[in-house]
Chains A and B, each alone.
Chain A
Amino acid sequence: MHEYSIASALLRMAEEHAHKHDATHVVDLHIRVGELSGVEVSLLETAWSLVRAGSLCEGVDLSIVRVAAHWTCRDCQASLDRGGLLVCQTCGGRVVLSTGDDLVLDRIEMEVA
Chain B
Amino acid sequence: MCDVCGCGDPTIVSEDLHRKILSDNDHVAAHNREHFVSRGVLSINLMGSPGAGKTALLEATRRAAPELRLAAVSGDLATEHDASRLEAVGVPARTITTGTACHLDASMVHHALHDWSDLDADVFFIENVGNLVCPAIYDLGQTANVVALSTTEGPDKPLKYPVIFYKADLVLLTKADLLPHLPDVEPKRIFDALMHVMPEPRMIVLSAITGEGLDEWLGWLRAQASNRELDRELIGGIIDA
Q: Which A residues are closer than 8 A to B by beta carbons? A: 1-2, 5-6, 9-10, 12-13, 17, 21, 23-25, 27, 31, 36-39, 71, 83-87, 94-97, 101, 103-113
Contact = CB atoms under 8 A, between A and B. Distances in A.
Interface in B142-165: 162-164
Given A6-B22, A106-B18, A84 B10 contact: no
A2 B197 CA distance: 21
A25 B37 CA distance: 43
| Top-4 shortest CB links A-B | A38-B137, A2-B134, A111-B10, A38-B163
B196 A105 contact: no
Nearest to A21: B13
B11 A111 contact: yes
Given A2-B133, A38-B163, A94-B200, A24 B18 contact: no
Contacts of B162: 36
B21 interface: yes
B59 to A, nearest CB: 28
A109 B199 contact: no
Q: Is the interface of B mostly helix, strand, loop or mixed?
A: mixed
A97 B195 contact: no
B103 A2 contact: yes
Given A2-B103, A27-B12, 9 more contacts: A5-B101, A13-B24, A17-B15, A38-B164, A71-B199, A86-B195, A86-B196, A96-B199, A112-B10
Contacts of B15: 17, 21, 107-110
A104 B196 contact: no
A72 B125 CA distance: 32
20 contacts: A1-B102, A6-B21, A9-B22, A9-B25, A10-B21, A12-B24, A23-B13, A24-B10, A36-B166, A37-B137, A85-B196, A86-B201, A103-B137, A105-B17, A106-B17, A109-B13, A111-B10, A111-B12, A112-B11, A113-B11
Interface in B131-145: 133-134, 136-138
Nearest to A31: B21
B166 A103 contact: no
Contacts of A83: 196
B136 to A, nearest CB: 5
Nearest to A37: B137
A25 B11 CA distance: 11
Contacts of A36: 162-163, 166
B76 interface: no
Among B16, B21, B137, find the residue whose CB has the most chain A CB atoms closer than 10 A.
B21
B199 A97 contact: yes
Contacts of B10: 24-25, 111-113
A94 B197 CA distance: 12
B122 interface: no
Contacts of A108: 14-15, 17
Nearest to A86: B199
B100 to A, nearest CB: 10
B21 A13 contact: yes
